[in-house]
Amino acid sequence: MDNPLKQNYAHLKAIQHVTGVHAQKIFSYVAMAGTATFEGEAPERVYSIWRLVKKIQSNKTPVLTSGGANSVYRRLVVHKIKGGYWAARRHTARLRSKSGREEQVTEGNP
């Protein structure tokens, strides 16, 4: 899945499913790191890393209580991809194979 907006949407749906948090309480942003760019102007809610940091820091209204945030954190930790870098690579490869773009990932062969 090379489209960062589609990837972000999939991640948002996964977060909603795991945490039970309503979509209106989740801020949807895409960070473009390094030299990544869009052809033409970047779509709405797509930021460079530093612009995203400033955007997040500008949000002053609490969305969750401290207890609610801790509950969401615990749910995310329980459901995170276990196994580190290579597990994440295999996850990405599975997603690509679903979209018809096979990629063989073996440890030591990124």
In a domain, 100, yes or no: no
- The 10s digit of each residue's pLDDT in 20-57 is 999 889 989 998 888 877 778 888 889 989 999 999 99
In a domain, 104, yes or no: no
**pLDDT at residue 16 tops 50:** yes
In a domain, 34, yes or no: yes
End-to-end distance of the chain based on CA atoms, in angstroms? 17
> Residue with structure tokens 């960070």?
31
Longest Cα separation, the chain: 45
| pTM (2 d.p.) | 0.67
Q: Structural domain of residue 32, as residue ranges?
A: 4-79
User: Which DSSP category does 44 fall into?
Assistant: T
Given pLDDT bands bounded at 50, 70 and 90, which one contains residue 85?
confident
Helix (H) or strand (E) holding 42: none
Rounded distance between C-alpha atoms, residue 51 and residue 93, angstroms: 30
Higher pLDDT, 102 or 91: 91
Percent of the chain with pLDDT over 90: 31
In a domain, 99, yes or no: no
HSE, CB side, 13 Å, CA atoms: give it for residue 4: 17
Structural domain tally of the chain? 1
HSE, CB side, 13 Å, CA atoms: give it for residue 19: 22
